[in-house]
A and B are shown apart, each in its own frame.
Chain A
Amino acid sequence: MMRGTPRTFVGTVVLLLREPARENGAAVVAEEVARIPGVGSVELDDAGTLVVSATAPVDRSDLLALLERLGCSVLA
């Protein structure tokens, strides 16, 4: 699909972030992502695996934009 194709989701999405969040970084990223309306739970491990579960529809582009703002590039 084209970049920016609308993609709302519910349930769980697992992303791989390039910069494994260091020290306080992980907590901040998880906290910020959890604030997106619809996001129910967030987990981020040392390897940079981000597990986001949405209980109500979340626009994937909102999630990606937030991660970009936080300086995390998404590998996959």
Chain B
Amino acid sequence: MLRGREQEQERLRSLLDRARRGDGAALLVRGQPGVGKSALLAQAVADAEDLIVLRTRGVESEAPLPFAALHRLLRTVVDRLDAVPPPQAAALRAAFGDTSDDVGDRHLVFLAALNLLSAVGSERPVLAVVDDAHWLDDASAAALQFAARRLEGESVALLFAVREDEAGSFDTRDLDVLTVAGVDEGAAAALIADQVAVDIAPQVRAELLEVTAGNPLGLLELTRALTAEQLSGQQRLPDRLPLTEGVERAFLDRYRRLPPGAQTILLVAAADDAGRAATVARAAEALGADAAAMDAAEESGLVAEHDGVLTLRHPLVRSAIYGAATSTRRRQAHRALADALAGTPAEDRRAWHLAASVDGPDERVVTALDEAADRARRRGGHEAASAAWSRAAELTTDPHARARRLFAAAGSSLAAGRPAEAERLARAALVDADEPLLRAELLLLQGQVEWNTRSIDDGIRLVHRAATTAATADPTRARVLAMLAASLTAFSSPVPDLPDPATIVPPPAPDAPAAVRVTGWLLDGFAAVSRADWPGAAAALRRAWDTPVGPDAPPQLHHNLAIATMHLGDDVRGIELHDLQLLHARDVGAVNMVEHALSRGAIFRIATGAWSDAASAAQEALVLDRNLGLDELVPLPLVELAVVSALRGEAHAPRRLEELAAVTEQHPPRGVAAPLVAGLTHWAAARQPGLPPGTVLHHLEQIQLPVVRGMAALDRIEGAALAGRRDLAEEWLDELSLFADGTGMAWAQAAVHHCRGVLGGGADVEAELREALEWHARSPRVPARARTQLALGEHLRRHRRRTDARVPLREALETFESLGAAVWAERARQELRASGETARRGADLVATELTPQESQVAGLVRQGLSNKDVAARLFVSPRTVDFHLRNVYAKLGITSRTELAALASDPS
């Protein structure tokens, strides 16, 4: 029984009850070593007879083995994987090494683990217990933390134990914590009494209580370490040590009293705490320990064997013994373990023992580590891959090979979401890297870290240097890098003192392969955008788009071909290319690319008035960001929703903007998304209802990015005029006119004529507006067209041409209604009434209060997807889909998917 743990046990029982109720949660038990965390976990397991109990623990020596601890947790239930969406199930199998497939995006593994727990929980509630979480391998830790934050509505309880002094990479923020302190005096006295048969002097008991602060392991071990004379107070007590050291010292004293063979066994067991008894015995035997030694080791109570597994009395036994050994003895132990593992499937483990056994460079060890790194990478264990490659580099004599390994390590750290570590590894690699191409790739990686986490300008400088570095050795690659620098510059602003990236490499030969020529044109196009040389930009970009490139062209090329459409506002092409990207990303399960394609594609849809599609794509991106914890990506889809809401004039538009402000304060947008988010935020702010013209203009003036200026052209120029700033309106109109003439984009020409008409000032208003409409007929930007129709109608009505006015007004009203742009529709309706037409009441839009997740689920179910397909698409569990769907039914007053599909309008 547990002494003095009533409150703690109550917390654990209530955690189990939550799993039983389908209201799952995670709990972190935290405390000093020896305070009794494992005992509490064992008690929870004993109380969970009616639950399915899954167990694992973090093992310090397993840090470089990706998903080792997660595998142990789930191995008894992997047969339920068919309840998990297939791409996720395949990723989990690959992560566990059951297949040699590439995991691809490891978020799929995380989801698979969560959904597997969820599926098992739907049969019978689950208690998953993770002891020593501070020693979990990084990949398992990431997966379990992902699951721990998503147990709402699941019949799953997740229980972690973690050491107070050693959180490791286990992020304990925002988990419920149960802090375990020492037991009270009564319980402590009883624990001491359990240990010894003799009477203890009161001052000795008081001393033990004080030193241990009620830590049960401390009480047991320190009491045990005292002689009968010390206990009875006849001899003085040993010098005081801090508790943990004191307990370690007690263990060490016991260890040192053992015969050499038994010590060898314990040292070997301490060096490989995975606990395979046969491996430890084989290794110890090679170091001279015999069978009798094993008996002696077990008799000491420091280690026990059960079912072929060796378990040390406590992790402090391991740290005490391992810490006290000389480095030569440690190396010997690791070498013996490596030899004992030769020819077994534990190749990764063997590689790491080998690495610990050498005292200098060793090609054989390096090869083993390289292989381990490659396996880790395929399984989605990026941290482990990085660790193996950097360790391999540390044992490599050839500087060139060393730099290559450090580069591989840096790439894996980046993939693991550890940019600072990636940066340090790249820096170490640059010391040795002498090949210009390798140096260029390292600089690119540093640039990527820089622009995504710190300064976009410094990031551009690094990419610029990368291109310059590669220029002589490989002009083709250098051109791709220069194109990247130009693309980044086009989305921010030219960096002072930095030459035009287009001057780094000569233009490609006319007979160069298509991909090479396209890179050159893209480079010229982006560079021209930064100079506001619109004819140059349009010519170069169109050539790039019109030249087909194969799928094996560098990914940066395809990516930038798509993103370049934004600079000309080529919405049709932009939608087409981003939809292609989305299709491909979904195919390969590349979560980040799915997010990118959705959130970028939404921008063009905002411009063309495909607002439902834009909102739906932004919502999907948002749900994905939130589900996967991609917090830094949240601002873009959120501002897109705010813009759609503002353009529609929805009642909750200001709320969207407030939500956005709160999010960007916590997670400021980074990299190239930042100027886009800033521009769209000001546009949405300017379109809030009831603002004085001065405030509107204040927001419009802050839109910097030409892409957003183009999308907001009518608002900007009309807004300046309304605020009495005709000069500014003229200036902006001139800017737009230069763009329109330079690019020939129909939407821009239409906007120019619209604004000339609206600004009046001697222009033939009707002729300008009619010309605008001719251009609009060739542009997909429907909302802008409706605004010109409205403006023309207003103009004609004011000039008493009521009948003529009705035609454009009716068209405008129809468009605004179909867009759901309530404020504009009302304006058109009033004009129509003023023109003498008894305008029908517009169909009232049913205001629904679906959450983003609910409308996302509703939208996909309306498209005919099954719950499992929706789950795979949104990266959630099928149970979560079911949960949201039931809320949707309740809110819409319907009871089935058929009714949902039959709804006339999109409920979102």
Contacts and interface: CB of A to CB of B under 8 A. Distances in A.
B396 interface: yes
Contacts of B618: none
Nearest to A61: B327
Contact of B359 (A4, A8, A11, A61): A8
13 contacts: A1-B61, A2-B318, A8-B358, A10-B360, A11-B393, A11-B399, A11-B432, A12-B406, A12-B432, A49-B424, A49-B427, A57-B360, A61-B327
B413 to A, nearest CB: 11
A73 to B, nearest CB: 15
A15 B334 CA distance: 26
Contact of A2 (B61, B391, B424): B61
Contacts of B323: 3-4
A57 B355 CA distance: 13
Contacts of A61: 327
A61 B428 CA distance: 19
Contacts of A9: 394-395
Contacts of B744: none
B356 A7 contact: yes
B319 A3 contact: yes
Interface string A1-34: 1111111111111111000000000000000000
A3 B359 CA distance: 17
A42 to B, nearest CB: 12
A66 interface: no
A6 B360 CA distance: 11
Contacts of A15: 424
Given A6-B334, A57-B360, A76 B420 contact: yes
Given A1-B61, A1-B356, A57-B360, A10 B397 contact: yes
A49 B425 CA distance: 12
Contacts of A7: 355-356, 391, 394
Contacts of A13: 394, 428
Contacts of B391: 7
Interface residues of A, number: 24
Given A49-B424, A53-B431, A11 B327 contact: no
Contacts of A56: 360
A64 interface: no
B612 to A, nearest CB: 47
A67 interface: no
A38 to B, nearest CB: 9
Contacts of B356: 1, 5-7
B333 to A, nearest CB: 10
Nearest to A13: B428
Interface string A34-76: 0000000000000001010100110101000000000000001
Contacts of B402: 10-11
Interface of B: 60-61, 63-64, 271, 318-319, 322-323, 327, 330-331, 334, 352, 355-361, 391, 393-397, 399, 402, 406, 420-421, 424-425, 427-429, 431-432
Closest 5 CB pairs of A and B: A9-B394, A57-B360, A14-B424, A12-B428, A12-B431
Given A3-B319, A11-B431, 18 more contacts: A2-B60, A5-B334, A7-B356, A8-B358, A9-B395, A10-B360, A10-B394, A11-B396, A11-B402, A11-B428, A11-B432, A12-B428, A12-B432, A13-B394, A51-B428, A51-B431, A57-B360, A76-B421
A33 B318 CA distance: 31
Contacts of A57: 359-361
Contacts of A16: 420, 424
A2 B322 CA distance: 9
A30 B548 CA distance: 55
Contacts of B330: 4-6
Given A10-B360, A11-B428, A16-B424, A59 B396 contact: no
Contacts of B397: 10
Interface of A: 1-16, 49, 51, 53, 56-57, 59, 61, 76
A3 B322 CA distance: 9
A7 B390 CA distance: 11
A6 B420 contact: no
Contacts of B63: 1
A6 B359 contact: yes
B439 to A, nearest CB: 14
| Among B391, B406, B425, B428, residue most surrounded by chain A Cβ atoms (within 10 Å) | B428
Contacts, number: 84
A10 B427 CA distance: 15
Nearest to B329: A6
A53 B399 CA distance: 11
A2 B267 CA distance: 13
Contact of B396 (A2, A5, A10): A10
A7 to B, nearest CB: 7
Nearest to B359: A8
Contacts of B352: 1
B540 to A, nearest CB: 40
Contacts of B431: 11-12, 51, 53
Contacts of A5: 330, 334, 356
Nearest to A59: B327
A10 B396 CA distance: 7
A27 to B, nearest CB: 20
Contacts of B60: 1-2
A56 B394 CA distance: 11
A56 B397 CA distance: 9
Contacts of B334: 5-6
B401 to A, nearest CB: 10
A64 B424 CA distance: 17
Contacts of A10: 360-361, 394-397, 402
A8 B366 CA distance: 13
A65 to B, nearest CB: 12
Contact of B331 (A3, A6, A49): A6
Contacts of B331: 6
A15 B355 CA distance: 20
A18 to B, nearest CB: 14
A36 B396 CA distance: 20
Contact of B322 (A4, A49, A51, A53): A4
Contacts of B399: 11
A60 B397 CA distance: 16
A2 B359 CA distance: 17
| Among A1, A57, A59, A76, residue most surrounded by chain B Cβ atoms (within 10 Å) | A1
B403 to A, nearest CB: 8
A76 B391 CA distance: 15
Given A1-B61, A1-B64, A2-B60, A14 B360 contact: no
A49 B327 CA distance: 28
Contacts of B61: 1-2
B445 to A, nearest CB: 14
Contacts of B432: 11-12
A9 B245 CA distance: 30
A18 B878 CA distance: 46
Nearest to B393: A11
A4 B334 CA distance: 12
B741 to A, nearest CB: 49
Contacts of B429: 12
A60 to B, nearest CB: 8
A57 B395 CA distance: 8
A46 to B, nearest CB: 15
A16 to B, nearest CB: 7
B594 to A, nearest CB: 31
A64 B327 CA distance: 15
Nearest to A16: B424
Contacts of B358: 8
Contacts of B360: 8, 10, 56-57
Nearest to B399: A11
| Among A2, A8, A11, A53, residue most surrounded by chain B Cβ atoms (within 10 Å) | A11
Contacts of B396: 10-11
A71 B86 CA distance: 53
Contacts of A2: 60-61, 271, 318-319, 322
